[in-house]
Amino acid sequence: MRKFDDLLVFVRVVERESFVAAARQLGMPPATVSRKVQELEKRLGVELLRRTTRKVSVTDAGQAVYERAARGMALIDEAEVIAKRHHDSPSGVLRIVAPYTIGILGVEPLTEGFQRKFPDVQVHLTLDNGQLDLIEHRFDIAIRIGAQKDSSYVARRLFHGHRVLVATPDYLAHAALLEVPADLPSHPVYLVGPLKGESVDYDFVREESQHSVSLIPHLWSNEGTLVVNRVLRGGGLAVLMRSLVEPYLQTGELVEALPGWQIEGDIEVFLIFRKHVWIDPKVRAFVDFAMSHIPARVPRASKSG
């Protein structure tokens, strides 16, 4: 730091052609300015300035040092301006990683609205169902499902939703009897992970009644949009997060099977980022934007279903 301090003083003396004027600009005593230039000359082993009672002139070596030091100072000043601009207005590349389904149906539409508000931010959205390390892969933000145990990250819950059992109206009109959860094993059912064995257990509740059922998936995938497409073709039933199928429920393309029954257990979706990146305006702006817009777009779990 002392090197930069001495060079800054030297640059200002050359620019103002005066120790007194440079001292006034830097807000320090003229004697301090003179001493710092002398220390710089001693450290470099070369005379940089010629001093007379009326004028300060630059030696050839001093001119060479000044030209390069001045460019460096200009770059530092430019860096400060850029940093202040970034602080005032989010800009640059925002790197986000999200699971495929949530990324396509939730995060991508969110980034569109975010970029309309902050057009100087460039979004790089990576879709991956794994748990990619944010530091290793240089991500600013990750969207993840389920509770987060790593205390080195900040976790903000975007929303929690519940799962629903859905089918097309045509399928329910022509399929085998489906009145209670116990009827489900006679139907083809499509499921989205995790799948740790051959079957998945679900608890269905209705008022004071509860029924547990073990389902062997006719089709299983870790990609929710694939399961959505399969159930839309009318070949069976699917257990999906309500937020993924809400548009189809609203249009009537899908309906809830077993109306009145709820599947226990909410699904929580978190926004994850490293603690120190919070100082980055684009990260802070996206987190605030997501927290204020996602709850309005994605239905929360409720007792009434």
Report which of 168, 185, 184 is spatially closest to residue 261, judged by C-alpha positions. Answer: 184
Residues 51 and 26 in one domain: yes
Q: Is residue 289 part of a domain?
A: yes
124, pLDDT greater than 90: yes
Lowest mean pLDDT among 37-46, 83-92, 169-178, 195-204: 83-92
Four-point Cα dihedral 143, 147, 153, 157, nearest 10: 60
Q: Is residue 303 part of a domain?
A: no
**Structural domains of the chain, count:** 3
Residues 169 and 147 in one domain: no
Q: Is residue 240 part of a domain?
A: yes
299, pLDDT greater than 60: no
Compute the mean pLDDT over every residue in the chain, rounded to the nearest whole number: 84
Residue scoring higher pLDDT (5 or 152): 5
303, pLDDT greater than 70: no
pLDDT of the residue at 62: 87
Q: Is residue 144 part of a domain?
A: yes
Residues 137 and 273 in one domain: yes
Residue range of the domain that includes 32:
2-85
Residues 155 and 278 in one domain: yes
Residue 178: pLDDT band with limits 50, 70, 90:
very high
Residues 198 and 65 in one domain: no
User: What's the pLDDT tens digit per position in 237-294?
Assistant: 999 988 788 889 999 999 999 998 999 887 888 899 887 777 788 998 999 999 888 6
Residues 255 and 276 in one domain: no
> Per-residue pLDDT averaged across 170-174, rounded?
94
Report which of 300, 273, 8, 21 is spatially closest to residue 159, judged by C-alpha positions. Answer: 300
Q: Is residue 189 part of a domain?
A: yes
CATH code, domain with 139: 3.40.190.10
296, pLDDT greater than 50: no
Domain ends where: 41, 62, 85? 85
Domain ends where: 85, 107, 135? 85
pLDDT of the residue at 302: 34
pTM: 0.58
User: What's the pLDDT tens digit per position in 36-89?
Assistant: 889 988 988 999 998 876 778 889 998 998 888 888 877 777 776 666 655 567
Residues 168 and 155 in one domain: no
Q: Is residue 302 part of a domain?
A: no
Residues 176 and 218 in one domain: yes
- List alpha helices for the chain, DSSP H: 2-16, 19-26, 30-44, 60-88, 100-102, 108-117, 169-174, 224-232, 242-251, 281-297
Residue 105: pLDDT band with limits 50, 70, 90:
confident
CA atoms within 13 A on the CB side of 29: 3
pLDDT of the residue at 84: 61
Domain ends where: 85, 113, 132? 85
Residues 134 and 181 in one domain: no
In the 8-state DSSP scheme, what is residue 152? Answer: T
pLDDT of the residue at 4: 72
* CA distance linking residue 264 with residue 215, whole number of Å: 15
The string of DSSP letters for 210-256 reads EEEEEE--SEEES-HHHHHHHHHTTSSEEEEEHHHHHHHHHHTSSEE
* CA distance linking residue 75 with residue 56, whole number of Å: 26
* CA distance linking residue 126 with residue 128, whole number of Å: 6
pLDDT of the residue at 3: 63
Secondary structure class of 298 (helix, strand, coil): coil
Residues 6 and 80 in one domain: yes
pLDDT of the residue at 137: 86
Residues 152 and 272 in one domain: yes
Residue 304: pLDDT band with limits 50, 70, 90:
very low
pLDDT of the residue at 275: 76
> Per-residue pLDDT averaged across 9-37, rounded?
87
Report which of 289, 304, 181 is spatially closest to residue 242, judged by C-alpha positions. Answer: 304
Residues 170 and 233 in one domain: yes
Q: Is residue 304 part of a domain?
A: no
